[in-house]
Every structure is written in structure tokens, then in C-alpha cells.
């Protein structure tokens, strides 16, 4: 392939930036799965198909945030403690006997409904109980320790938007709103392949020149964690016709085909050529390291993502290119991973033009140390680090002590 042909899949003769690749995903692909109704207990990891409108106020009534005494703030003296007789006691789950009389305090416990008239709560640690009542210290602000009706979510407000992937906090919110069935998107069906004559399936014995296939298990686990249904396509040999045939069969039965390896320019790399032969190539080669030779296209109308064969490159491209694609196809709104700042504990030189991701450990003082082994095939560099340091395209020299942007590996898998 000539350089001119190679560059026609990039912008302005240069590699495509990560942001350009993610924008092309939005332009070229749409949600591929239908809506279905599931029980809340089965909704973890699913994608909301409709906005959730709160059917009730949350909380449903004014209540106490602490164990203490509920009062009318207007009864308190601004410059000294106030002694108030105690009128009534309310536990969580019970209804106060009536209106709180002016000039009195009510004993309340965390989560208990406040009596009508009470607007402020003093926590019990800051009160002094006496034979004549309770002494409320001065300085208590109006509304202190009071949870207002609907302050979390008001009835009729949007509690969660369409396209939100439901994780444990969302499940808790929906349960608190009393919802037991939800409209969600069906799970994506993803066919997963590895490529290469060097790969064998465990526990087969390793012949000379052979290695066990790690990528298919790793990528499948990542997909299942995000709620996809994984179809194991097995290992594709380094044969162009066989690759085309099996990818076409998988495309007809799947919402997405995912391959690892076979996307570079070598004589044994056939995935990108298969995409061009059977469909169309959306883009190829992104300006990131590791992970430049990532290919995305369609085979018979089904999206096909080819990530590099080196495990680290496969993980990085799947997280930064595959995740936006997966969310798009599943009807989810993609949210870029949160970036955190750390101080570099090492110096580093790189070439301009590509965004580079270094595996690092970050200590309690937010100092990042580069992992000692840097190869894109070293799996322990992912299991023994916590983050990726993100070095921008225009950077050529990183000095020890400089601030760098890091992405926690756990955030890439959530």
C-alpha cells in the first residue's frame, strides 16, 4: 500500500486524532438494539431507553439528618444557649403526634419526620439535657440538619436521562423512587475473534512458536462487564479468504464484531482488507500510542472494530475507541473518563504527533511512577499499575516534577 492510499483514511495527510475518531463514530453509527422492559433487579449494566421522571418527592417529607432535637429556629436566642422543654419524640418510620408548640423542642432520630412547625435540628452531641428540658447552644443556623421534601429529586423532575448506563448508584436511586420495572435497551450481541497462526487455545500444549490467546478472554470479560452478550468467534488463521468468510458470518448474526490483531500492514494482516472487501472502512490508524493501527468499519452493515494484537494496545484502543463505539451502538451516552492530575516522578522523551499513554503507579502523594517494563505485550504492566499517564501530541519532553494528566484504569473498565 502506498503512503497516499494509506493516508486517505486520515485528516489532511496526518493520523486521525482520538477526538476525530470519536466524532466519526457518532457520525457513522447509531443505536442498534431495541427497547425492552426488565425488572429493577435485572437492570444493572443496562442502558435506559427513556428518561426516568420521579413519581414521588425524594425525600417524601421533611426529616432529620441526625439524632437530636427539632426546634423552631425563631425560638432560639442568637447570643446564648436556649433552654426548651421537650415535647414529644419521633423515631424513623413514625408520624409525629402533632404540631410542635412554640417554645419547645422535639426529640427526633435520623430519618424521622419532623413535626409541623419544626425547621431546624440540633444534633444530640451539641445539646445538654437537663431536668427542665434540653439546652440548645447558640450559633445554630436556620434549617441545620433538616432534609427538605424533594431536595434530592422533586416529583415530576427528571431523575435519570435516557442513555444512562445503570450502575449501583443509579439502581439505588431508582429503588428509592419506588420503581420496579424499567424500559432499557436490549443487550448488544458482540462476536469476538483473535487472529494469528501463532495463537492456540488453552489448555492445548504449546508447540514451538506458539502462544496462548489472552486477548479474546480479556476483551470478552470487558464486554460482559458492560452488559454485552459475547459470542466467541475463536481464532482466525492468517488466511484472507477464511478471515472474510468467518467475519461475514459473524456480522450477519451480531450487532458488533470485535477482532484483535491483523490490522497492521504485514503480509499476515487480513482484517482491514476484509473490511474493505466486504463493506467499507470508516477509519484506520489513530494518533495514539499504543494502539495506532485500530480499524473501524462495516461488514454487510454491521460495525466491525479491529484492535491491535498486542494486549496493552488492545486494552487502550478498546477503552478509548471501543467504548465510545459500544455506547453508541447500545444507545448509551458516552462519558469520557475522568482525568486526574499527578506529579511525574520520572523524565520521558517522546516524538511529537501522537498522544501517548504510559502505564504508571500513583502513590498517596499523587506522584506517578512509570512502570519499569514498557512493551505493548506485557500484561503485567496492566495488572501492576493503576493508571495511564496521558501525554499530549505536542509534548516531546517530560521533566520529573511536572504535572501530568492520568486516567485511572478502573475508570476505563467501569
Q: What is the mean pLDDT of each run of 10 residues along the chain (414 residues)?
A: 40 74 97 98 96 98 98 95 96 96 98 98 95 95 97 98 97 98 98 96 93 96 94 96 97 98 80 94 95 95 96 95 97 95 98 96 97 91 96 97 95 75
What pLDDT, on a 0 to 100 scale, did the predictor assign at position 265?
73
- CA nearest 305: which of 251, 352, 341, 369? 251
Contacts of 238 (CB under 8 A, 6+ apart): 195, 196, 197, 262, 268, 270
Domain 3-33+187-330 classified CATH 3.40.980.10?
Answer: yes
Contacts of 5 (CB under 8 A, 6+ apart): none
Assign a CATH topology to domain 339-412. Answer: Beta-clip (2.40.340)
What pLDDT, on a 0 to 100 scale, did the predictor assign at position 5?
40
Cα separation, 346 vs 189, in Å, equals 43
305-326 burial, b at 16+ Cβ within 10 Å, e below that, comes to bbbbbbbbbbbbbbbbbbbbbb
Assign a CATH topology to domain 63-147. Answer: Molybdopterin biosynthesis moeA protein; domain 3 (2.170.190)
Assign a CATH topology to domain 42-53+154-185. Answer: Molybdopterin biosynthesis moea protein, domain 2 (3.90.105)
Contacts of 332 (CB under 8 A, 6+ apart): 47, 163, 164, 165, 185, 326
Please tell me whether the overall predicted TM-score, pTM, comes out greater than 0.75 for this model.
yes
Helix (H, G, I), strand (E, B) or coil at 252: helix
Domain-wise residue ranges, the chain:
3-33+187-330, 42-53+154-185, 63-147, 339-412
Cβ 51 vs Cβ 163: under 8 Å? no
Amino acid at each position: 500500500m502506498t503512503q497516499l492510499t494509506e493516508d486517505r483514511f486520515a485528516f489532511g495527510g496526518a493520523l486521525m486524532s482520538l477526538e476525530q475518531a470519536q466524532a466519526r463514530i457518532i457520525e457513522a453509527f447509531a443505536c442498534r438494539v431495541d427497547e425492552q422492559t426488565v425488572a429493577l433487579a435485572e437492570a444493572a449494566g443496562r442502558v435506559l431507553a427513556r428518561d426516568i421522571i420521579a413519581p414521588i418527592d425524594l425525600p417524601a417529607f421533611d426529616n432529620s439528618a441526625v439524632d437530636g432535637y427539632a426546634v423552631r429556629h425563631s425560638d432560639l436566642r442568637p447570643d446564648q444557649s436556649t433552654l426548651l422543654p421537650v415535647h414529644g419524640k419521633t423515631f424513623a418510620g413514625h408520624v409525629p403526634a402533632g404540631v410542635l408548640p412554640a417554645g419547645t423542642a422535639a426529640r427526633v432520630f435520623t430519618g424521622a419526620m419532623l413535626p409541623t412547625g419544626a425547621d431546624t435540628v440540633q444534633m444530640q452531641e451539641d445539646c445538654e439535657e437537663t431536668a427542665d428540658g434540653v439546652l440548645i447552644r447558640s450559633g445554630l443556623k436556620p434549617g441545620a440538619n433538616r432534609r427538605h421534601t424533594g431536595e434530592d429529586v422533586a416529583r415530576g423532575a427528571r431523575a435519570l436521562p435516557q442513555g444512562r448506563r445503570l450502575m449501583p448508584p443509579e439502581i439505588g436511586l431508582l429503588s428509592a423512587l419506588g420503581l420496579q420495572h424499567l424500559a432499557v435497551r436490549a443487550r448488544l450481541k458482540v462476536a469476538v475473534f483473535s487472529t494469528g497462526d501463532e495463537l492456540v487455545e488453552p489448555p492445548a500444549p504449546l508447540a514451538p512458536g506458539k502462544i496462548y490467546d489472552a486477548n479474546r478472554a480479556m476483551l470478552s470479560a470487558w464486554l460482559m462487564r458492560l452488559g454485552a452478550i459475547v459470542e466467541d468467534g475463536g481464532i482466525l488463521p492468517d488466511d484472507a479468504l477464511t478471515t472474510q468468510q468467518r467475519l461475514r458470518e459473524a456480522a450477519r448474526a451480531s450487532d458488533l464484531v470485535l477482532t484483535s490483531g491483523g490490522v497492521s500492514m504485514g503480509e499476515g494482516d487480513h482484517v482491514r482488507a476484509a473490511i474493505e472487501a466486504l463493506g467499507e472502512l470508516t477509519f484506520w490508524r489513530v494518533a495514539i500510542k499504543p494502539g495506532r493501527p485500530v480499524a473501524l468499519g462495516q461488514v454487510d452493515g454491521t460495525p466491525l472494530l479491529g484492535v491491535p494484537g498486542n494486549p496493552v494496545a488492545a486494552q487502550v484502543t478498546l477503552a478509548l475507541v471501543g467504548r465510545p463505539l459500544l455506547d453508541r451502538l447500545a444507545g448509551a451516552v458516552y462519558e469520557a473518563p475522568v482525568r486526574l492530575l499527578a506529579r511525574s516522578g520520572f523524565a520521558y522523551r517522546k516524538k511529537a504527533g501522537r498522544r501517548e499513554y504510559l502505564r504508571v503507579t500513583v502513590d498517596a502523594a499523587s506522584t506517578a511512577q512509570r512502570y519499569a517494563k514498557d512493551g505493548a505485550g506485557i500484561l503485567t504492566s496492566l495488572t501492576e499499575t493503576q493508571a495511564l499517564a496521558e501525554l499530549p501530541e505536542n509534548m516531546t519532553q517530560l521533566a520529573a516534577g511536572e504535572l501530568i494528566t492520568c486516567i485511572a484504569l478502573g475508570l476505563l473498565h467501569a
